[in-house]
Chain A
Amino acid sequence: MVTRYFGTAVKRTEDLRLTTGHGRYTDDVGTGPDGEHALEVAYLRSPHAHARILDIDVTDALDVEGVVAIYTHEDLEGAAGEPLPVLIPHPGLHAARTGYALAKDTVRHVGESIVMVVAENRYLAEDAVNRIRVDYEFLAPVVGIEASRAAASTVHDDVPDNVAAHLVQERGDARAAVAGAPHTLEYDLSIERSASMPLEGKAVHAKWDADDASLRVYSSTQASTSVRAAIAAKLGLALGKVEVIAPDVGGGFGVKIVHPWPEEITVPMAAMRLGRPVKWTEDRREHFISAAHERGQEHHVRVGFDDEGRILGLDVTFWHDNGAYTPYGIICPIVTSTQLLGPYKPANYRVEFSSVYTNTVIVTPYRGAGRPQGVFVMERTMDRIAQYLGRDRTQVRSANFILPDEFPYDQGLIFQDGRPLIYDSGNYPDQLTMLKEMIGWDEFPALQQQARASGRLLGIGLGCYVEGTGPGPYEGAHVNVQTDGSVEVAIGLTSQGQGHQTVFAQIVADELGVDFDKIRVVTGDTRRFGYAVGTFASRAAVMSGSAVALAARKTKAKALRVAADVLECNPDDLEIESGLISMKGNPSTSIPLGQVAVLSNPLRYAFDEAAKAATQFAKPADPDKPPVAEGEEPGLEGKDYYSPPRSTFASGMHAAIVEIDADTSEIAIRKYCVVHDCGNLINPMIVEGQVHGGVAQGVGGALYEVMAYDESGQLQNASFMDFLMPYVTEVPRLELGHQMTPSPLNPLGIKGAGEAGVIPVAATIASAVEDAVGLRIDAMPLNPSKLFELRATATALTTNQVREGLTP
């Protein structure tokens, strides 16, 4: 097979449409000239972090002209009124709690929805919301990990210690190893909350067909098949009577993997009851206070190591702030606890975490999903060891690397997919060599000296990670060759702008031997593909990509069988190129793929010219054989699923040079280099785009983004004015190097690339700032004001010398 598309920077098919305003997002559904006007929804959301609802008075709201319906928890019937599901139960999650589609008796965070108003438009709906009066009995809010652990107040009455989950994993005997190690260090590290913050918030549009008793729902989701199942279950409908479509989605980054969101139940419910289309489009304030956050964790580390810096024992205890409820289980802290290990092989490792309740917004994975925290812990540890031993930071890392000949490498833990944490492939020493060269690691000390002499504070830092990508259980794909030779591809997994339409077409083009522009890809539409898991954990390329390849191979096999029959030869003698099937070495004997599609479907009726060829009198046929041979199906299509034994492990390393303004403590990133290994590249340009976007979000997590809750549980920065996402002016230019160690686990040798860019940024920047100012950086994000404070309080203790953090 001549590979023409796989591995090349094919321009993204979706871009012209998306960048010229021709995208179709959920909010656009029904807004065309012929669209059916949808009623619009606004929710009354709790203004209090923790309160009992005593009374709800909607009398005044009903007076607003244009209000169609108002619902509270009392109006929810059957399963819709029960607690929302715990999507991913886990034995360690001993006290899982979830909220309701509309709050029942108690609200547990600012933003929890209490009343739903349906009106002719959103303005009127909001007018009505403002007229609803709710009587509350205030309860003590629990804000922050410290308050949660102290448990002076509780988030849930029946969880007295505020602990939702507790999990320990251990390989070897880490505590004994630390105790017996020649050198030991002990310290605390913390990361604050941030959020996925997609440009498009959540959105739901539902239309009920009363005659057909069926529901069509558009949702800005990362998991349409599962939203469909959830809606069917919650609203008492047969699965076949519910369609869920994820149209164009303006970013997800994790927050849209959770489902059903309350609105995914209440909006369809209202559409069914009112017999009119109903929609809700989340506004930015709602997204801040009622969607999801992530990252808030505090860690306590004890490490023992030898003179070379090799880790003999690593003992980590951490606390994860899971907010008010646990609908998505404890995926994030599990990921931290396992992916913390990165490219290293500590001889003994113990990790213990508690996931604790607070009266704040819930947590869902946000790009990186627990890894940025884990990497921060491990990389800070490497830097501390290097500092303690007076060794180069890269040397200490090298001393701990898993080596290329040690794969597959079993870390001896259970990963987030419930499977053993076994790394499939990688080459970390080479990666480090590449990175050092790109950033100029060995030349830097001279540069730093020179800068210092003129009063400039430069620092260099690095961060390494390994990312388990492409977890199962499965994804599927359907490839269908049309009679005109074009190809329809459908996958159940959704797209949020990553370029799925492009890369999956690349795969099919090569596998099937058709031109790229003859292929159309549909994603996330349950009408087209009913079984899927979803877009998360950097799994689309690995999972759907593999499934697409397998389905295309099946399609090709069938095409060759049918063609061989027509051309009276052996299928093995045929090949397909540019949609033409021909005899190897004898190209004059050929048949177009489209015609094979016609012939593959024996017909009674000739509805068009081409179809004639497949009707019963068109050609001589063996009267004793059935028109569709045994084991065959009509049509030229192939459907297949890919289900991997376990995740495949991508990896990468970042390095940065930063400059700190000596007077203002402003932090400028002067150079930023990335080396990245996601196995074989389907489309290098798309991978680079993913890395760029990831690093941008990483810079946000390193230097800008926090969720500033006050002690009463009010989010003080719930707008883009005060929640600071980096602009393009704050994101450094990247220098990117690719390394390719193919995965042995899947047919294409690929690994996920979606989350990678974000993972080590906070660790890398912390390392570089520490190097520049000579002060411990043990909490991120950092900002100039905090750094100023740190420098002001610490200068008395140190002079460009990192303080030792050893507790005596």
Chain B
Amino acid sequence: MKPAPFTWHGPRTVDEAVAVLAEVGHEGKVLAGGQSLIPVLAMRLAEPAHLVDINAVAGLDRIVVDATGVTIGALVRHASLERDDAAAAAQPLLRQALRLVAHPTIRNRGTTVGSLAHADPSGEMTSVLTLLGGTITARSARGERTIPATEFFVGPLESALAADELAVSAHFPAASAGTGSAFVEVARRHGDYALCGVGAVATVDPAGAVTGLRCGYLSVSETPLTVDLTDAWNSGDDAAAATAAAARAAVDPLPDIHATAEYRRQLAGVLTVRAAEQAVAQAVQRVGTMGRDNESGHNEEDRSA
């Protein structure tokens, strides 16, 4: 398990980085936190001739929080974003999801933009970016463009980035007034990729009635899936069952050695209701407390008897 030979490049600026990428084209790979790429190289599942290591590129590690939302540079580690209180206040779903991304040690090194670029449909943040309608900004020697999440995730492990493009930042829109969010998942072990995960964003009116419910899914579709479940949630007597059924119908899971497709479908239904309940409760609370942030969605297992 040793990588094939490659040439290492250590650009110091974004311009240098995209210049190298332009030169090496399809032979090159960007190296960010390395938490996904290094194992792939070690197992020789990919043998890029050039690695463009962006870890020393200046200015990519900033988290900017403003009225529009949270913008993170390509070197912002999962752990930094998770711990950033301003980011959590502006968009609570970020922290709610990030604490379920892998283990703390991996979050210390892995970057959030890297996980978006990796475009894994089992990644929490791909699903979050899609659910929130965020964007990715990419730079190349040819120029800069901003790509909406819905166009960014093309297939499993396939993004809209061209070979010469560097994702320089990602933008997550702020939570608007009257919304609440939650993120829940089931994984085989703590910190594993989820068998199914669900993020929910609920909107309530001042009277507490749910006016919007959107859920984002991971591990149950080829690209991050977002479903509008407002009608199901408001469908009357057995709304929870209707919502679960709608979720189960919307997902298209595949079986693997850890779980059958049917089981994942079941999880999609169960977790949708759990996430929705938490999101609605948070929305109601936020309306009630005039937007003061207060996180819910605490689903750490109680391990005592």
Binding site for B on A (CB under 8 A): 122-123, 126-127, 130, 283-285, 657, 663-666, 668, 670-671, 704, 706, 708, 716-717, 719, 721-722, 724, 726-727, 729-730, 732-733, 783-785, 788-789, 792
A792: nearest chain-B partner, CB-CB: B262
Taking a contact as CB atoms under 8 Å apart, the answer to whether B5 and A127 are in contact is yes
What CA separation (Å) do A666 and B266 show in the bound complex? 12
> B4 to nearest A CB, angstroms?
7
Q: CB of B207 within 8 A of chain A?
A: no
Interface residues of B (CB under 8 A from A): 1-5, 39, 43-44, 186, 188-192, 195, 257-260, 262-263, 266-267, 270-271, 301, 303-305
Residues of B within 8 A of A721 (CB): 39
B4: nearest residue on chain A (CB-CB)? A127
The 3 A-B pairs at the shortest CB distance, nearest first, are namely: A785-B259, A670-B305, A729-B190
In the bound complex, how far is the Cα of B304 from the Cα of A706, in angstroms? 27
- Chain B residues with Cβ below 8 Å from A284 are 1
Q: How far is the CB of A236 from chain B (nearest CB, A)?
A: 33
CB pair A664–B186 under 8 Å, yes or no, is: yes
Of all chain A residues, which has the CB nearest B1? A283
Kindly report which residue of chain A lies nearest to residue B259, judged by CB atoms: A785
Verify B2–A285 contact, CB threshold 8 A: no
User: Given A724-B192, A785-B258 in contact, is the A130-B186 Cβ separation under 8 Å?
Assistant: no
The docked-state distance in angstroms from the alpha carbon of A51 to that of B128 is 47
**CB pair B257 A671 closer than 8 Å:** no
Which residue of A is nearest B190, CB measured? A729
Query: Could you give 19 example pairs across A and B, Cβ below 8 Å?
Result: A122-B2, A123-B3, A127-B4, A130-B44, A663-B270, A664-B266, A664-B267, A708-B257, A721-B39, A724-B192, A726-B189, A727-B191, A729-B190, A730-B189, A732-B303, A785-B195, A785-B259, A785-B263, A789-B263
User: In the complex, what residues of B have CB within 8 A of residue A726's CB?
Assistant: 189
| A391 CA to B305 CA, complexed, in Å | 26
Contacts of B44 in A (CB 8 A): 126, 130
Asked if A724 and B301 make an inter-chain contact with CB atoms under 8 angstroms apart, the answer reads no
The distance from the CB of B22 to the nearest CB of chain A, in whole angstroms, is: 28
Distance in angstroms between the alpha carbons of A284 and B39 in the assembled complex: 12
Residue among B2, B271, B303 with the highest chain A CB neighbour number at 10 A? B2
With contacts A123-B2, A671-B305 taken as known, whether A789 is within 8 angstroms of B258 at the C-beta atoms is no
Distance of A127 Cα from B258 Cα, bound (Å): 33
Q: Nearest chain-B residue to A447 (Cβ)?
A: B305
Expressed in whole angstroms, the minimum distance between the Cβ of B304 and any Cβ of chain A is 7
Identify the closest chain B residue to A717 (Cβ): B257
Q: Are B190 and A730 in contact (CB under 8 A)?
A: yes
Distance of A730 Cα from B192 Cα, bound (Å): 12
Q: Are A784 and B263 in contact (CB under 8 A)?
A: yes
Asked if A727 meets B190 with Cβ closer than 8 Å, knowing A126-B2, A789-B263, the reply is yes
- Whether B257 contacts A784 by the Cβ 8 Å rule is no
Contact of B188 among A123, A668, A783 (CB under 8 A): A783
Chain A residues within 8 Å of B257, by CB: 706, 708, 716-717, 722
Cα–Cα distance between A717 and B258 once the two chains are bound (Å): 10
CB proximity of A442 to chain B, nearest CB, Å: 16
Q: Which residues of B contact A127 (CB under 8 A)?
A: 4-5
Known: A785-B258, A788-B266. A285 touches B1 (CB 8 A): yes
A719 to B267, CA, bound (A): 25
List chain A residues, Cβ under 8 A from B1: 283-285
Please tell me which one of the listed residues A704, A717, A733, A789 contacts residue B262 in the complex, with CB atoms under 8 A apart: A789
Q: Which residues of B contact A788 (CB under 8 A)?
A: 260, 262-263, 266
Distance of A717 Cα from B192 Cα, bound (Å): 14
With A671-B305, A727-B190 already in contact, 17 other A-B pairs whose C-beta atoms are closer than 8 Å: A130-B4, A285-B1, A657-B305, A663-B270, A664-B186, A722-B257, A724-B258, A727-B189, A727-B191, A729-B191, A730-B189, A733-B303, A784-B188, A785-B195, A785-B263, A788-B266, A789-B262
Rounded to whole Å, the gap between the CB of A121 and the closest CB of chain B is 8
CB–CB B189/A666 < 8 A: no
Smallest CB-CB separation from A728: which chain B residue?
Answer: B190
The complex places the Cα of A563 from the Cα of B84 at a distance, in Å, of 73
Q: How far, in whole Å, are A731 and B257 apart by their CA atoms in the complex?
A: 22
When the two chains form the complex, which single residue of A664, A717, A729, A785 contacts B270, counting CB atoms closer than 8 Å? Answer: A664
**How far, in whole Å, are A729 and B44 apart by their CA atoms in the complex?**
31
| CA of A721 to CA of B190, assembled, Å | 13
Chain B residue numbers with a CB within 8 Å of A717 are 257
Q: Which residues of B contact A733 (CB under 8 A)?
A: 303
Residues of chain B lying within 8 A (CB to CB) of residue A783: 188, 258-259
Asked if residues A785 and B260 are in contact (CB atoms below 8 Å), the reply is yes
Alpha-carbon gap, A726 to B195, bound state (A): 16
The CA of A657 and the CA of B305, in the complex, are separated in Å by: 8
CA distance A785 to B262 in the complex (A): 9
A789 to B271, CA, bound (A): 18
Q: Which residues from B are CB-within-8-Å of A665?
A: 263
Residues of A close to B189: CB separation below 8 A: 704, 724, 726-727, 729-730
Cα separation A784 to B267 with both chains bound (whole Å): 10
Q: Which residues of A contact B195 (CB under 8 A)?
A: 784-785
How many whole Å from A258's CB to the nearest CB in chain B? 23
Taking CB atoms, residues of chain B closer than 8 Å to A123 are 2-3, 5
Q: How far is the CB of B273 from chain A (nearest CB, A)?
A: 9
Chain B residue at minimal CB-CB distance from A666: B186
A725's nearest neighbour on chain B, judged by CB, is: B189
Whether B186 and A784, one on each chain, are in contact in the complex, defined by CB atoms closer than 8 angstroms, is yes
Please state if A724 and B188 are interface contacts (CB–CB under 8 Å): yes
B275 to chain A, nearest CB (A): 13
Q: How far is the CB of B93 from chain A (nearest CB, A)?
A: 22
User: In the complex, A733→B304 CA distance in Å?
Assistant: 9
For A666, list chain B residues within 8 Å (CB). 186
Q: Shortest Cβ distance from B123 into chain A, in angstroms?
A: 14
The chain A residue sitting closest to B244, CB to CB, is A663
Cβ of B191: which chain A residues have Cβ within 8 Å of it?
Answer: 727, 729
Residues of B within 8 A of A732 (CB): 303
**A659 (CB) vs chain B CBs: closest residue:** B305
